[in-house]
Amino acid sequence: MSGDIKTRIEEANKEFLRRMIAGDPVLVDVAPAGDVIPDFPDRTILHSGPPVTWQSMSGAQRGACIGMVLFEGWAESPEQAITLLESGEIRFDPNHHHQAVGPMAGTITPSMWVWVVENKAFGNRAFCRQVEGRQQFGEYTPEALEALEKWRDVLAPALQKAIRSMGGMPLKPIITKALQMGDELHNRPVAASSLFANALSIPLLTSGLPQGQIAATFGLLGGHELLFLGLSMAAGKAIADPARGIEFSTGVTAMARNGTEFGIQVSGLDGEWFTAQAPEVKGLFLPGYKLGDEGRDIGDSAITETVGWGGFVLGGAAGILSFVGGTPDEALAYSRQMRLITIGQSPDYLIPALGFEGTALGIDIRKVVKTGIPPIIDTAMAHKEPGHPIIGAGLVRPPMECFVKALSRFGERYKLA
């Protein structure tokens, strides 16, 4: 590689980092996906990860799609839903192609209310669906769907009214504070969820909504420790998107999995996916599930690692180890190791357990390939078959193949010797 090219890459990555650091995510709305996601295509299910077909879909994502077809009323029974999904009449499209992200199967349809986060530094918007523990994992029982209906009919409209009355809620202050309270904002957003709930107490109280609706919403906010994950994912997407399309940048703008394939996207190669078979997650199982039940890695939630949270800040989130396994020293080592594969460190998102040093930020495909160190991601586990709720959580590394393919393509694209 000539010195000139190397300088262009360094300059591009400096710009990549500048944009990531400048990100200023503000929650501006909660609304039906069909109303806010631009040009939402008809009869389409948006899903996590790179593109996928019904035939190649993982069990959890199939189950989640059955759930969404029923939720939208496109079919009246799981059997009808499966027939419809097999017929090819329902289109599938990655969330990432629509400024969106979704947890686990990640399924978003027009009636699903989503968080709307605007990056005030750049004006772009990002969307993420609400996090719950059942349908997004592939369960499609009436109970799993009732929870989605309650979200649509009771909780999300109340949150919409409260958030609009506030004129939006800046998320950066909550995220910086939560990182000092043992959150890593992916599997463990417990502090952020609690702080978010408190920030909404007065706006909800004074919303003018019926007391029963407010109480139900307080019940969600006060009792759902993973609630903020939908917001940290939307914030991550809002922060990452402006860093797309920088010529010569080797920075990663997305890591996403659909349970079949793991895919990454790279700033200087915008629009392309570099994929490999999704890896298996190593972790701990919830009661009733065991090794061998789990499907392959799934979800857009690795957008949190893409912007330096999640597995990258495990060293400051020792509380999560009871959920994903490992020791405090290993957790600190992960956070330090990620500096070897990133462009820089955040000046704003700090880890107290590392002496208030900034999070490792901006995954560089060159450094991943050169060091042989893939990013560390902590994640939940879905079942390999459709029809189950969450079954566990653990740690996972993306396949090296994604980064090698991307770097090879980068060499072709920019004519590197």
Q: Which residues bind a second copy (CB under 8 A)?
A: 177, 180-183, 190-191, 194-195, 197-199, 201-202, 205-206, 211, 214-215, 218-219, 221-222, 316, 318-319, 321-322, 327-328, 352-356
The minimum distance between CB 218 and a second copy, in angstroms, equals 4
Q: Which of 359, 332, 363, 338 is nearest to 348 (CA)?
A: 359
Question: Could you tell me the smallest distance in angstroms from the CB atom of residue 196 to a second copy?
Answer: 10
Report the residue number, 352 or 411, with the smaller CB distance to a second copy. Answer: 352
Q: Which is nearer to a second copy, 179 or 246 (CB)?
A: 179
The rounded distance, in Å, linking the Cα atoms of 184 and 320 is 8
- What SS3 state is found at 98? helix
CB burial string 163-172: b at 16+ within 10 A, e below: beeeeebebb
Residue 145 vs 216, nearer CB to a second copy:
216
**Which is nearer to a second copy, 78 or 222 (by Cβ)?**
222
Provide the minimum distance between the beta carbon of 307 and a second copy in the complex, in angstroms, as a whole number.
21
Nearer to a second copy, 183 or 294 (CB): 183
On the CB side of 2, how many CA atoms lie within 13 Å of its CA? 7
* CA gap 215, 316 in Å, rounded: 33
Half-sphere exposure of 406 (CA within 13 A, CB side): 35
CB of 184 to a second copy, least distance (A): 12
Distance CA(173)–CA(196), nearest Å, equals 10
Minimal distance, residue 339 CB to a second copy, in Å: 16
Q: Is 116 exposed, middle or buried (0-12, 13-18, 19+ CB in 10 A)?
A: buried
Q: H-type helices in 200-320, by residue range? A: 201-205, 211-223, 229-240, 303-306
When the beta carbons of 321 and 400 are compared against a second copy, the nearer one is: 321
Q: Which is nearer to a second copy, 109 or 345 (CB)?
A: 345
Q: How far is the CB of 228 from a second copy (least distance, A)?
A: 12
Distance CA 137, CA 150 (A): 18
How far is it, in rounded angstroms, from Cα 218 to Cα 209?
Answer: 12
Q: How far is the CB of 354 from a second copy (least distance, A)?
A: 7
CB of 231 to a second copy, least distance (A): 16
Q: Considering the complex, state which of residue 286 and residue 321 has its C-beta at the smaller distance from a second copy.
A: 321
Contacts of 251 (CB under 8 A, 6+ apart): 13, 16, 17, 20, 243, 266, 267, 268, 343, 362, 363, 364, 365
Q: In sequence order, which residues have a C-beta less than 8 Å from that of residue 44 and are 6 or more positions away? A: 90, 91, 92, 93, 109
